[in-house]
Amino acid sequence: MSAEAVPGDAVKVLFVDDEFVEFRSLKKKIGSLSEPAVDVEYSQSISDALEKVKGGRFDLILLDNRLLPNADFRETVPELRGIGYTGPIGVVSTDISDGYFQEFPDYGVDFRIGKDEIDARTLQYIIREFVKYDLPDFWKDDYTI
């Protein structure tokens, strides 16, 4: 998506993976997503991701489990949290069945997902669940002052 084609209120997603082909695959899978508008940026390393997060606003980070030279999310996610990122982080992996994935909340991870599970509908669900949760109109009166 080009910057001109994405509205200013688009959900900004940072996809961090050391394989550019994974980013291209994600862009292709979510190309049909029309609501909400999504602007996806790519980082090939955790150091690049840290610089982008420091320099801009991201509503969601999708992070590959294994990024060199770090071992896995247990090292990379604390780095993102350590610079003050408070938004949702999802760990993306080819295989999420290893036992250490059960520890993901302890490291500041909001959810985990297999790379084969990501498509437009799944990303739309993730955004609604973790980024833009709209209260039903009849509840909003309870929260106004």
CATH number assigned to the domain comprising residue 128 = 3.40.50.2300
- Coil vs helix vs strand at 89: strand
- Coil vs helix vs strand at 32: coil
**Domain assignment present for 87:** yes
Inform me whether the pLDDT recorded for 22 exceeds 70: yes
Boundaries of domain holding 18: 9-133
Query: To the nearest whole percent, how much of the chain has pLDDT over 70?
Result: 80
**Domain assignment present for 141:** no
**Domain assignment present for 101:** yes
Nearest to 71 by CA among 97, 102, 93, 43: 93
Burial of residue 36, with CB atoms counted within 10 A of its CB: 0-12 exposed, 13-18 middle, 19 or more buried: middle
Average pLDDT over residues 17-36: 84
Q: Rounded CA gap, 70 and 75, in Å?
A: 6
For 81-92, the pLDDT digits (tens) are 999 999 999 999
DSSP β-ladder status, 38-43 and 89-93? unpaired
Nearest to 127 by CA among 15, 23, 25, 36: 36
**Domain assignment present for 50:** yes
Predicted local confidence at residue 132, as pLDDT = 74
Inform me whether the pLDDT recorded for 143 exceeds 50: no
Cis bond before residue 36 (omega within 30° of 0): yes
Q: How confident is the model at residue 145 (pLDDT cuts 50, 70, 90)?
A: very low
Q: How confident is the model at residue 100 (pLDDT cuts 50, 70, 90)?
A: low
Counted domains in the chain: 1
Predicted local confidence at residue 139, as pLDDT = 47
**Domain assignment present for 103:** yes
**Domain assignment present for 41:** yes
Predicted local confidence at residue 79, as pLDDT = 93
Predicted local confidence at residue 58, as pLDDT = 95
**Domain assignment present for 4:** no
**Domain assignment present for 138:** no
* Residue 19 φ then ψ, to 5°: -110, 110
Inform me whether the pLDDT recorded for 9 exceeds 70: yes
Average pLDDT over residues 105-125: 87
pTM score of the predicted model: 0.81
Average pLDDT over residues 5-18: 80
